[in-house]
Structures are given as structure tokens and as C-alpha cells.
Amino acid sequence: MDLKQIQYFIALFEEGSVTRAAKRLNIVQPALSMQIAKLEDEFGQKLFERIPHGMAPTAAGRMMHRLFLPIVRDLASARQQMMQREEHMAGRITIGMVASETESVLVGALARFNASYPNVEVSVADGFSTALINLVSAGQLDAAVVHRQRGRLALQVQSLHDEEMVLVTSVANGPELPESVEMAKLPGLELVLPTKSHGLRVVLDTATQAHDVTLAPKFEIDILGTIVQFVEATRFATVLPRIVVQRAVEEGRLRMHTIVAPRIVRHLVCVSHPQRPLSTATEALIAIVTEEIKRVSGMA
């Protein structure tokens, strides 16, 4: 087995078709099929099965992809870092971000990054913190901006930003509340919150349950933009990071109320694999994202 065979295997796995994989690799189809056959002979296992519209990986094929994809990504990253210069940086990076950041700062961060590094391609995935952490562990993402997890992670963890979560109501339709609201008063409000699988809800429940406060929202929605719109149009309240609602507050559509006794803080961190050092481009993008988070949050 050599690197070329692994690259051929990954192309076929990802394309699901000998024709498309050969075109992607710029080789003829028989050459691709021959290398895959050699791999199957070497491991003594079928890696793909023919289906009506292409090729589907077997269980052995899926295991091989999971094991070898990080190796290929490491080699690509090493090559990129050896060849690149700051003024001529090029290549491709993949990061993950929790939804609160993709909706709030991603556009500005990518615009700034592109102005400084026009030859670097960027792929961004959003999702829940746990899912993004798993993708980093599996080598499918270079890094991810997530909520800090309880317990220790087998990943490199870099603190980025601590931010208060605030109670949010509608200016036009919401209940009359003081500027500051005690945590113990939250259960008495009509609430719409993310579901329990959402990282923000984990932060919120962890903080409230530590003080014997139990929240029972009537509605649970994971799409933050929808929560904001729903609160704006109703008497319902929500608890979200300041960064998510800052624009709507500035436009006079929503009102923020500080939560006290105690305050609720979410901690944003960047996770990466300790055995796969971040490229210069990835570090630059994370730095820009952090700056944008602080700027939008009014911290810079």
C-alpha cells in the first residue's frame, strides 16, 4: 500500500463513482480500478460494492476511510506549511463553528480573511459543539469554535472569549421587566429556548441547575434566527448570548435584560487535534474570528 493508492481510495469513497473519481484524479478508469483491486487483495477484504448508480463502501471500506483520512489531511497540511510564505499563502482550511457565531460574525470574519489571504480556500461547517468536536477528533476539521465542555477533552483547547447570556424580550410585544432580572425569576416567564441537545441550552441548564433553578420552556427551537423572530413577535422571552441579539437590540426591535444573582456566562474555545498542528492560515482565521466576536460583543 502506498500514498497514491490511499488517495485513489479516498477519491472513490467520496465520489461514489469510478467515473467521477477518475475524472477528479485526472487518470483513466482502469488505472483507478486496478489500484483499488490491489488494496482489496492486500487487506483481503472487499472495500466497495457495485450498486446501480455507482460504488458503495463496505463496512471495511468505511473503517479504512475513517482511519486513513486524517493521515492524508496531515500530509496535505504538512506540504502546505512547508511550501507557503506569508505573502503568498495558499491552500485549503476547514473549520467548524457553533451557530451563534456563524450567524453573528462569520461574514465579517471571512471578508477580512479573504482581503489578507486571497489564495486560501475556506470551508466552514456549523453544528452542535459535540458534533464539531467529533469531526476535529476524526481529522475532518482542522479546528472548531465551540462551547467549552465539561470534563477533559483529548484535544488542544484554546480559550477565545467569555460572554454573558442575557434575557431577551420584544420591545413592541414583550412583558415589562426591569433592566436586571434575577435568575430565580426566569421560571416565571414564558420562555422559548434551544433544545437540550444545543450547546447554548447545556450552558444555560448547567448554570441554572447549579442554583436549584429549573427552566421549563413552552417552545424549544434550535434555529437561533427563528427564536429571535419569535420573541420579537410575541410576549415570549429567551436567554441567548449578547452577540446573537446585538443587532436587533441596536435596531430597537429587542430589549436585553441582564441576568443577575448569578450571571450566566458561556465560554467559547477553539479545539484542534494535538497531533495535527494548525497551519498559519488556520491560526490567522481563528484570530480574526476571535477579534470579530469581541468587536460585535462590544468588547473591542
Distance separating alpha carbons of residues 73 and 63, to the nearest angstrom: 16
Residue 149 has φ and ψ, to the nearest 5°, of -95, 155
What structural domains and CATH numbers belong to the chain? 1-80 (1.10.10.10), 81-158+267-295 (3.40.190.10), 161-264 (3.40.190.290)
Question: Residue 117, Cβ neighbours under 10 Å: how many?
Answer: 23
The sign one gets for the Cα dihedral 197, 202, 208, 211 is positive
Cα pseudo-dihedral 272, 273, 274, 276, rounded to 10: -110
Residue 230 has φ and ψ, to the nearest 5°, of -65, -45
Distances 240 to 47, 165, 191, 251 between C-alpha atoms, Å: 46, 5, 11, 17
pLDDT value of position 80: 67
How far is residue 136 CA from its own chain's centroid? 9
| Cα angle: 125, vertex 128, 133; to 5 degrees | 75
Distance separating alpha carbons of residues 238 and 230, to the nearest angstrom: 10
Where does the chain show beta strands of DSSP type E?
A: 48-51, 54-57, 91-97, 120-126, 143-147, 156-170, 180-182, 192-193, 219-220, 238-241, 254-260, 265-272
pLDDT value of position 150: 81
Supply the DSSP symbol for 88: G
Low-confidence ranges of the chain (pLDDT < 50): 86-87, 300
Nearest to 168 by CA among 233, 98, 262, 223: 233
pLDDT value of position 81: 65
Question: Residues for the chain: how many in total?
Answer: 300
3-state SS, residue 52: coil
pLDDT value of position 49: 93
Distance separating alpha carbons of residues 238 and 244, to the nearest angstrom: 11
Question: Residue 26, Cβ neighbours under 10 Å: how many?
Answer: 6
Distance separating alpha carbons of residues 30 and 32, to the nearest angstrom: 5
